[in-house]
Structure formats: structure tokens, C-alpha cells
Chains A and B, each alone.
Chain A
């Protein structure tokens, strides 16, 4: 039996309903995960963009020996 024949047996009118069930299953799984996520964890993750430019050490520039061979030019 070919793939064409198998698919031809399907009632295509149920596809919207099947698609909806797919989505709802995935949606509720994600919702469960989100609701069970500790608040502290969420807050820490939400702050990542605000902490991304934090320099843990003193600023080094191209004038310093650490980056003197970077060849930075005016862009």
C-alpha cells in the first residue's frame, strides 16, 4: 500500500480538530512548566539582559597591553 493510498483514506475534514488537539497538548505542557517554575529562577533569567554588560574586572582598552594587538580601527 503506497503512502498516497494511506493518506487518501484519511478524512481530511478532521484535520483542523486534530491540529487543535496537537496544539492544546503542547500548550498545556508548556503552561505547566511555566507555572511550576520558581519565581526566583524566572527573575534571575529575566535580568540577564540587564547584567550582560557587567565587567567583572577593571576596564582594559586597546591602549592597554591586554589588547594591544587587536588592530581596532574606526568603523
Chain B
């Protein structure tokens, strides 16, 4: 029993009886098979949901007025499924396969591997069960609520990271190959990003501790981030950008450095270039996040840092791309006949295109045109469909027949998948580039008299519909390709042997102490210790040591990635001048807060921004540009990243309650050709007033000055009173009877919308000095 337990946590290694010093071991390919299947299946789910929401933009009635099919709720499901379910399972399959072979060791613990697999699938299922029901934190790519956040931290760091690091420590190959460096960077940085971007207060637990009861499941799952406004925006896009960097780039580069040489049957073009690629990339990437917030209320210095580092990022990225493509030197003839190599070549090419476009979009003048438009969406999809998707499929086609110990069922189907995917991507990306640039140019167009050429936002929407349909066709082609892939891999699996062979490998264990061979010797004749040490340093001993010591290597990776975050975040949080306060900005009323939570739950930020940039074409269309001090009570910030609909930062007071009511009932009634879905459930579902005190109390814990609202359930009474006032006003404007609407969610949402952006135009309360001056003779 004890022996079995020892083997369980030591990769099942045993001493071979015949060979002194050799250890035998068997790779755990079963876990790779499980992750591979999960990749294919979740990929199809992600692509299918993508097609559904693409149809909804071209044909809004497709949502059928059903809450959990609305665009705002499904889009986070699509992005989370594509990133964490499809790409996530893909990188786990790649890491489990390649790490064992590069380390010449079985994964350290089969139990941790299985806990990782099932834990991750449970997280994905939890996402699928919460996001469509509006349970969300309202931050892009970090939507999952707090219990799932905790699960992610445990599964990622303990089950996956712990198992990976222990495997590295127990490896039998002295040098840690560069692919493993990228995996280390992935594990370390994603942990850091996830933890710091998901610091929150669970509103349900606050209520439970204060009152000894939980008013609803909705409140139990609700949390508010500790950051607000500008600071929340900086943290979110530090996370959001680096999720792209360290979840969708570094692990795929590790995948490239392992699987591309395997498929091409030749070593990577330049190992030296891969080292420069690695360190430059991880050091630079982490600084680039603020380029997502150009011309917003983010301070200019932070924005400039983001732009400078984004442009610098171009160099290592293209170094990596060239290294990947040049690995095929002498094998280009095989690319024509081998669809697997085709997947890799197009994947790496898309990496090059995306990493050229990313720095381009980070340049402020370009960003002023592209930001909030579909250009960003095209950029993201060229990266995910082209780079992540094709690298994953290339890997699966190379790896799965080997895992099933058989041949690929059909090379023709594989080629068909490749061409369907490629055609789909081209259609998708070109149409959406056209849509994005069209939008951007229309928003900023002035006529000869100096007025906006397209003052009605809807004009800039309807013109895009044909391009949205082309996107649907592109998405369908890509989805069809993936289904062909599933069939091909399923048929491959069916031809597997009755029982898998398990190949027993042998390798000597590494010596216990550190082996620095070849050890640098001082080339100096001087007898100063400092000179000798310096000469050894220049010979690169220090880096060779890092390449052989996983724990130290991991620590230095953490240092490299932490510098950028610290230098950007500390001034932002500590220097008060970054967020000048505005005396007229006050906390939301309890009802407005409840309405804001509905705004978050419905995913309104997926289509509407709340950030007016200081451009004439924006201030003429939307009003006064947004100031940092306006968002100090916004937990979370809701600036958004795209404008499928108009900006809402100054929506308050622009329209009547009745207009909003009718708009939610059927947007086309008040805005012909609107592509916004109907939100009829908001007209019928009731506000849970009992929850409101818990929401207000949580905000107060975050420093929002609610004063009297915290006493004796005052928040609930205040919310009911305000709801009645709005319902009566709605009735006066020709809406339904107040008795019918006063407890409905639509009233809370209207309360929030009517408040948005109005504080800045209020008269400041008279100070004591002013009062004194007025009464003085």
C-alpha cells in the first residue's frame, strides 16, 4: 500500500531490475486523451454559441424574447467557452502530453491530474449554468462569480500548477526545454492576474453575517469588486490584456515550440532566438494592458506606458513567428500535402498577423478610430480562430492518432476541415474589419456645416447588417470544419486497438545536487574574486543554472511579470491626483444600485459603453466627456469595450421613463431598425426588495458612504419609495398603472439609467464659507 502511494506521487517510476541507475516510467496518456476530447467538444459548443449570437446581431428576433438567449447574456458564455473551455482544454492537453516527454517523467500525481480535469470541466459547466441566467461579475473575460473564482484558483494553482511544478522537479532531463518556460510563465502569471482582478466582497455572505439569513440565491452568488471606476478599469484591462497574453499566447507558443518540430521532424530554427523571444515577450506583455483604455478617464501616463510597450511587443512576437515558420525550412514541400502542417503554418501566420495588428491598434491615433468598433472583434477572432484554433487543431490531428495508437481516419476530411476553417475565417474577419472601419469613420464624420454627418446612431448600425450576415456564414463554415474534425477524430478513435499498449521508457534519474556542466571557468589571469565572478557571469553560467532549476526559474518569471503590474498599479492606487474627486458625485440610491446590478446581470456592457472620449465627434453626439471622478462608486466599472448600441454615459434625463419602458418592451417601437433584443422579462419580473439592504451594506464595506441607509432597513424603504415615484411618473407619461409596475425590475433599471451621468451637472451644495458670505451684511 505504501509502495503504491509512493509510486502515485512519483510518476509511477520504478528502478529497472536489469539496468543499474535507470528508472522505468510510463507516460499518462489517458489524461491527455480526456483533455483532447474535452477540447473538441467544448470547441464546438463555443463556436455554436458564437454563431447563435452572430445571428442575433443580424436578426435580433432570433433571441425570441427569451432571457437566457439574449445577446448580453450569451456573449460572455461564448467568450468564456472559447477561451477557457476550448483553448483551455487544448493547452492542458498540450501541456500534459509535452511536459511528460520533455521531462522524461510521468506527471507527478495521477490524482492531481484527474482532479484538474474534472475540476476544470465542473468550472465550465458552472459557467454554462450561471452566465445565461445573468449571474456575472460584469467584467469582460472575468464574468464568473466568486464561488467559481475560488474553484478556478484551487484547480489552476493547486491541482494543475502544483502537479506541473512537481513533475518539473522530478524530471529526468537536465535542461528545461523552452516550451516548458512558456508553460511556467502561463501558470505563474494567470494565477497572479486571476487573484488580483478577482478581489471582491460577496454580498450574500455580508448579509448572512449581519442578519443570519440569506434572502435569495441570487444575492448569495453576488459579489462586488473591491476596486471602483478608474482603478477597476486598470485592473480589469491589466487582467484582460494579459489573459490574452498568458492564456492565449504563451501556452500556445510552448505548444508551437514542441509540436511544430515534432510535426516537421526537425528542430526549432533557432533555439537562441527562442530564449530572446521568451524573456522579451513575458517582460513586455504585462505592461501593455492600458492600451485598452486610451482617451478614457485613465491618466495619460498609464495610457502612454501601455502604448510604448505594445509597440515594443511587436519585435519578440515576430521573432517567435519567424522562428516557427523557419522551423519548416527544408520541409515546405510537405506543407502542400500534409494538412497538419497546413494548420500549423496558417496558425503561426495568424499569430504574426495578430501581433502586428495588436501594436498597431495600440497606437493612440489608430485606437481613436478602432476603439469600440468591430475592428477589435475582427482582431480578436483572427487571433483566436486563426492562431489558437488552428494550432489546437494541428496539435490534435498530430497527437490524437498517436494517443489512440492508430492512424488518422481520413487525411481528406482533415484537409476539408482546414479549408472550411480557413474560408470561414477569411469571410468572418474581412467582413468585420469592413464593419469596424465603417463604424469608426461614420461616428467621426462631419458634414460641410460642421455637424455630424450621421447624428442618429442607428444609421451606423443598420449599414453593418450585410456584413453581419457574412460573418454568420463565416462562423458557420468554421463550425462545420470543427464538426468534420470531430467526425474524423471519432472515427480515428473507433479504430483504436482493443487495449492500448503502454510503452515503458527508461532514463537515469538526475543527480540530487545541481549539475552545472559545462561549468564556466574564469578566463582571467587576475587574481581578484570579483573579476573571476564577473567573467563567469558574462559566460552565461547564471542563465544555464536557471534553465536547470525550475523553482528559481519560476521565481524569476514571477519577478519579470510582476514588475510591470506593480509599476502601473501602485501609482494608480496611491496617487490621489489620478482620480480627482467631484463634489457633486454621490452614491447611487438603493433602487439605482439594484438597477445597476440588473444592468450588469443583463450584460448591457457587451453592447453599450459608458465612456465619452474627449473628441469633438463624441462630445457632440453624447455630451460632456467622462471624468475619472464620476466613477468612484462604480463597483464594478461599466465602461464597456464596444458600441453595438450608443454610449450611455450621459443617458440620464435624456428621455422619458415611458420611452425606456417601451424600449425594453420592444426596441423597434421607439427606434425603428434597432437590433437590440426585447427585454420583456424585465417588465414582468419583480424586484427582490429584501436583497437591497445586503447590496447597500456590501457597498458600504467598500467605502461607499451610505450613512443613514445602513440603519433599520432604510435602504429597502427608500428603494420602495423611489420605485413608487418612478412608477407614478411613468403612469403620468401614458404608461401602465403604477400598481402594475412599481415592483418590477424595469423600474429599478430605469432609475439607474435616469441617474447615469447626471451628477456632474448638479449644482454643488453650498459650503459653510458660501453660506457665511451670503448671510454677512
Interface pair A75/B271, CB less than 8 Å apart: no
**CA of A61 to CA of B273, assembled, Å:** 39
CB nearest to A39 among chain B residues: B272
Assess whether B173 is interfacial by the CB under 8 Å rule. Answer: yes
Assess whether B301 is interfacial by the CB under 8 Å rule. Answer: yes
Assess whether A1 is interfacial by the CB under 8 Å rule. Answer: no
A window 43-66: CB within 8 A of B: 43-50, 52-53, 55-57, 59-64, 66
Interface pair A75/B30, CB less than 8 Å apart: yes
* A4-B576, A37-B540 given; A50·B499 CB < 8 A: no
A window 14-57: CB within 8 A of B: 15-16, 18-20, 22-23, 26-27, 30-37, 42-50, 52-53, 55-57
Assess whether B563 is interfacial by the CB under 8 Å rule. Answer: yes
CB nearest to B280 among chain A residues: A27
Interface pair A56/B505, CB less than 8 Å apart: yes
Assess whether B622 is interfacial by the CB under 8 Å rule. Answer: no
Most B-side CB within 10 Å, residue of A4, A47, A57: A57
Interface pair A55/B506, CB less than 8 Å apart: yes
Interface pair A20/B308, CB less than 8 Å apart: yes
Task: Tell which of A19, A31, A57 touches B305, judged by Cβ atoms closer than 8 Å.
Answer: A19
Most A-side CB within 10 Å, residue of B16, B268, B403, B564: B268
Interface pair B276/A34, CB less than 8 Å apart: yes
CB nearest to B570 among chain A residues: A7
B window 487-541: CB within 8 A of A: 496, 498-507, 538-540
B19-27, B363-371, B607-615: which one contacts chain A? B19-27
List chain B residues, Cβ under 8 A from A13.
301
Write the B284-315 contact mask toward A (1 if CB under 8 angstroms, else 0).
10010000000000010110110011001000
B200-208, B259-267, B743-751, B761-769: which one contacts chain A? B259-267
**CA of A23 to CA of B98, assembled, Å:** 30
Interface pair B499/A74, CB less than 8 Å apart: yes
Assess whether B334 is interfacial by the CB under 8 Å rule. Answer: no
Interface pair A55/B301, CB less than 8 Å apart: no
B window 9-54: CB within 8 A of A: 16, 19, 22, 24, 26, 29-30, 33-34
Interface pair A53/B101, CB less than 8 Å apart: yes
Assess whether B625 is interfacial by the CB under 8 Å rule. Answer: no
Interface pair B102/A49, CB less than 8 Å apart: yes
Interface pair A55/B499, CB less than 8 Å apart: no
CB nearest to A12 among chain B residues: B301
CB nearest to A64 among chain B residues: B504
**Chain A contact patch, size range:** 35 or more
Interface pair A42/B271, CB less than 8 Å apart: yes
B591 to chain A, nearest CB (A): 35
Task: Tell which of B19, B26, B273, B305 touches A15, judged by Cβ atoms closer than 8 Å.
Answer: B305
Q: Is the interface of B mostly helix, strand, loop or mixed?
A: helix
List chain B residues, Cβ under 8 A from A22.
563
Task: Tell which of A8, A33, A63, A70 touches B275, judged by Cβ atoms closer than 8 Å.
Answer: A33
* A61-B503, A66-B24, A74-B498 given; A36·B175 CB < 8 A: no
CB nearest to B301 among chain A residues: A12
Task: Tell which of A26, A45, A72 touches B560, judged by Cβ atoms closer than 8 Å.
Answer: A26
B677 to chain A, nearest CB (A): 42
A8 to chain B, nearest CB (A): 5
**CA of A23 to CA of B283, assembled, Å:** 7
List chain A residues, Cβ under 8 A from B564.
19
* A26-B279, A49-B179 given; A8·B577 CB < 8 A: yes
**CA of A26 to CA of B275, assembled, Å:** 12
Most B-side CB within 10 Å, residue of A18, A33, A36: A33
Interface pair B30/A49, CB less than 8 Å apart: no
Interface pair B271/A45, CB less than 8 Å apart: yes
List chain B residues, Cβ under 8 A from A46.
261, 267-268, 270-271
List chain B residues, Cβ under 8 A from A55.
503-506
List chain B residues, Cβ under 8 A from A70.
26, 502
List chain B residues, Cβ under 8 A from A37.
272, 275, 540
* A50-B262, A74-B496 given; A32·B538 CB < 8 A: yes
List chain A residues, Cβ under 8 A from B160.
none
**CA of A15 to CA of B567, assembled, Å:** 8
**CA of A74 to CA of B494, assembled, Å:** 10
Task: Tell which of A10, A42, A52, A64 touches B571, judged by Cβ atoms closer than 8 Å.
Answer: A10
Assess whether B217 is interfacial by the CB under 8 Å rule. Answer: no
**CA of A44 to CA of B272, assembled, Å:** 12
CB nearest to B312 among chain A residues: A23
Interface pair B540/A62, CB less than 8 Å apart: no
Task: Tell which of B258, B275, B308 touches A34, judged by Cβ atoms closer than 8 Å.
Answer: B275
Most A-side CB within 10 Å, residue of B179, B270, B287: B287
List chain B residues, Cβ under 8 A from A56.
22, 505-507
List chain A residues, Cβ under 8 A from B178.
45
List chain A residues, Cβ under 8 A from B574.
3-4, 7-8
Interface pair B104/A61, CB less than 8 Å apart: no
**CA of A44 to CA of B614, assembled, Å:** 56
**CA of A60 to CA of B24, assembled, Å:** 10
**5 additional contacts, CB 8 Å, given A15-B571, A19-B305, A46-B268?**
A23-B309, A49-B262, A57-B22, A62-B501, A74-B498
Q: List 24 A-B contacts (CB under 8 A).
A: A7-B575, A12-B575, A13-B301, A15-B302, A16-B308, A23-B309, A26-B279, A32-B540, A35-B272, A46-B267, A46-B268, A49-B98, A49-B262, A50-B262, A53-B101, A55-B503, A56-B505, A56-B507, A57-B16, A59-B501, A62-B499, A66-B24, A70-B502, A75-B403
Closest CB pairs A-B (n = 8): A52-B101, A46-B267, A46-B271, A60-B504, A61-B501, A33-B540, A12-B301, A42-B271
* Interface, chain B (partner A; CB < 8 A): 16, 19, 22, 24, 26, 29-30, 33-34, 98, 101-102, 104, 173, 175, 177-179, 257-258, 261-262, 265-268, 270-273, 275-276, 279-280, 283-284, 287, 299, 301-302, 304-305, 308-309, 312, 403, 496, 498-507, 538-540, 542-543, 560, 563-564, 567, 570-571, 574-577
